[in-house]
A = this chain, B = another copy of it.
């Protein structure tokens, strides 16, 4: 038997079924049209942003990194709650503007921006987080060609990284950002051009659960921003502090203590270096904002024994939930939080592996989990499906098609 990850708070039950915003799993499937489907809770999204605002200093702007979940209704909901949206492609730019976000509050990061993407960003007036000196020159040249003023921030590759982060984005050689030692020259280059220098984007890692590590990194980030600004003798308008806050996926994971993070940031804001006194600060979050608000629902289509082991075979799988199958950036496979949604109140009574419908041994949603007895027709819920689910999975693999998505 292998343990399951912790089910996030905020879900309920009725008639023995899992409920999301008071709606049973079977009703949600009926609304989505069929299994498999992703269901996102607008209430949980709203409450999540509110909880973050309550914990953080009023001065801190909240940005949504839409790569976590670009489903149009989710994006529109988030656009109304946050202060800005961070995009990673021209495709995301179009979606963010369609969702109603003012381009003045959109920023664009990503190491491989194409000429036409830079042009689209400059025309729209969004902030470009520069990833290299070459990209800086290209953006300035495109602005000159268009007769438009590019809004350019410098993405810094800091010498530090975020301790305990699931993905290191700083510290040593990286494809992301400009090495901190080179940053003053790049800012001077922007200041000497016709472009508008917006400030810095400093992102040292993501998916960390330890508040102390996040607090330490935010301190280093503020200090580095001040040091770089002093070097160019110019205050940055804007500082994107990155995100870094993860969510619990696996047994033993605990949520980030956001009150602690917010209190520490408040203290730092109260004693800022003079050069950052008028800077706008933003935190950029994707997974933390939307990850726990989504559930993937899939139906059991077969129940079989093989050499004494029980398999619950579902109509979903890694084509929608690559990360839950353990095949996206993980070295050791561990179980996500998974439950029998249609028997949510029942006690665990047998050990079963929940597998997907794909004809590959990689397609496993829960390995040797302790679950209530489930039959063909029962619904399985995979939690923490609100971020890096539908779009971060190979939906075309084996021709089963995309999962439905539903915001309630």
Contacts and interface: CB of A to CB of B under 8 A. Distances in A.
Interface of A: 67, 70, 87-92, 95, 109-115, 131-135, 157, 167-169, 172-176, 179, 301-304, 306-309, 311, 313-315, 317, 322, 327-329, 331, 353, 355-362, 376, 390-401
A114 B301 contact: yes
Given A328-B362, A358-B88, A390-B396, A172 B134 contact: no
A403 to B, nearest CB: 12
A139 to B, nearest CB: 12
A115 B392 CA distance: 28
B308 A173 contact: yes
Nearest to A157: B306
Given A131-B302, A355-B175, A361 B398 contact: no
A169 B363 CA distance: 12
A261 B15 CA distance: 59
B317 A112 contact: yes
B306 A111 contact: no
B315 A114 contact: yes
Contact of A397 (B112, B314, B391): B391
A302 B132 contact: yes
Given A314-B112, A361-B168, A88 B306 contact: no
B398 A396 contact: no
Contacts of A394: 322, 391-395
The interface centre, meaning the residue of A175, A302, A307, A376 with most chain B CB atoms within 10 A of its CB, is A175
Given A304-B132, A357-B111, A358-B110, A400 B67 contact: no
A326 to B, nearest CB: 10
B327 A134 contact: no
Given A175-B353, A179-B306, 12 more contacts: A87-B399, A88-B358, A91-B401, A110-B357, A112-B301, A112-B315, A113-B302, A114-B315, A131-B313, A132-B302, A173-B311, A175-B306
